[in-house]
Amino acid sequence: MTWLKYLLLPPFINVLLGVLGLIFWRRLPWLGGIMLVLGVGGLLWLATPTASHWLRAGLEPYSAVTQDALDSTQAIVVLGGGRDYQSPEFGWGDAPNNATWRRLAYAARLHRQSDLPLMVSGGRMHDEARAEATLMKLALRDSFGLEPTWAETQSRNTAENARYSAAVLKQEGIHRVALVSQAWHLPRAVLEFEEAGLSVLPAPTEFASPPPDGLWAWLPRAYHLRQSTQALHEWLGRGVFEIREWLTNDVVGLRDEIISDWTEAETESTGA
């Protein structure tokens, strides 16, 4: 499933469309032309500030947290956003990546505003020596002077973040949390945590910056291609979540219908 996900995202999907366009160019030039335009043109469009902002802005329905809303929660949960391998400047081996540092900084700010306990969540993707949550714990301790109350170290994705974190928090009697992540990531993360049985206050950080004025808004750059790819990854994840929910509800409904029909048939048979 992981490989399929990356096959559907830029830049691989764009390269694939370009190669297929060249293959089909001689026999079906119209089809080859469409594929080339979608591949090369799509890659250039996704690399513009306008495209990356448009894709990310649609993923950011939540506003910044207010103090009153924060006071209604019982804990702050920070989701891991990835790691940088072999980062010598901190002395930990690996270190949280920039996205995770942004989440940790905002979580530290919220903690100082509320004195709520902190939880960090993130495991190992490739059998690394330290779980991502362990690196986040070190970062909070050494860089912010804070010690998280809980560190969930088993999860490998957002769904597992929610499931494993909820299991720990419920045992502590905690049922409402402030959930910290990038603004574009929170809609899916909130759904996963609510499905795990927690009440969630979204605590977004790193909102999409509007594109610059004039032609600069259409100048392709690698930075904006990365932002667009992240947004498409999140849209894909939300689609998978919706399909999973639809299939689950459909199967449950079909099961209930079969049981109901079978019960009615048994009742009629017994009555006869």
Q: Domain ranges in the chain?
A: 1-47, 67-205
For residue 248, CA distances in Å to 63, 207, 235, 268 come to 31, 32, 20, 30
Q: Which of 88, 76, 162 is nearest to 116 (CA)?
A: 76
- pTM score above 0.85: no
pLDDT of res. 259 = 54
| Residues forming a β-bridge with 95 | 84
SS3 123: coil
- Find how far residue 48's CA is from the centre of its chain: 22
Q: How far apart are CA 16 and CA 237, in angstroms?
A: 21
Which pLDDT does position 157 carry in this prediction? 93
Q: Which of these CATH numbers, 3.40.50.620, 3.20.20.70, 2.60.120.1570, 3.40.50.1440, describes 67-205? A: 3.40.50.620
Query: CA 157, CA 160: separation in Å to the nearest integer?
Result: 5
What is the mean pLDDT for each group of 10 consecutive residues in the chain (272 residues)? 73 91 92 94 95 92 96 98 94 95 98 98 94 98 97 96 98 98 94 96 95 94 92 86 77 57 48 50
Other Cβ atoms closer than 10 A to 50 = 16
Q: What pLDDT sits at residue 266?
A: 43
Q: Give the pLDDT score at 142.
A: 96
Percent helix / strand / coil, the chain, rounded to 5: 60, 10, 30
Q: How far apart are CA 72 and CA 182, in angstroms?
A: 21
Instruction: Give me the pLDDT at residue 247, please.
Output: 80
Give the pair of three-digit tokens for residue 115. Answer: 């004195």
Contact 100, 83 (CB under 8 A): yes
Number of Cβ atoms within 10 Å of the Cβ of 151: 19
Q: Looking at residue 38, what is its pLDDT?
A: 94
Q: Which of 206, 163, 176 is nearest to 64 (CA)?
A: 206
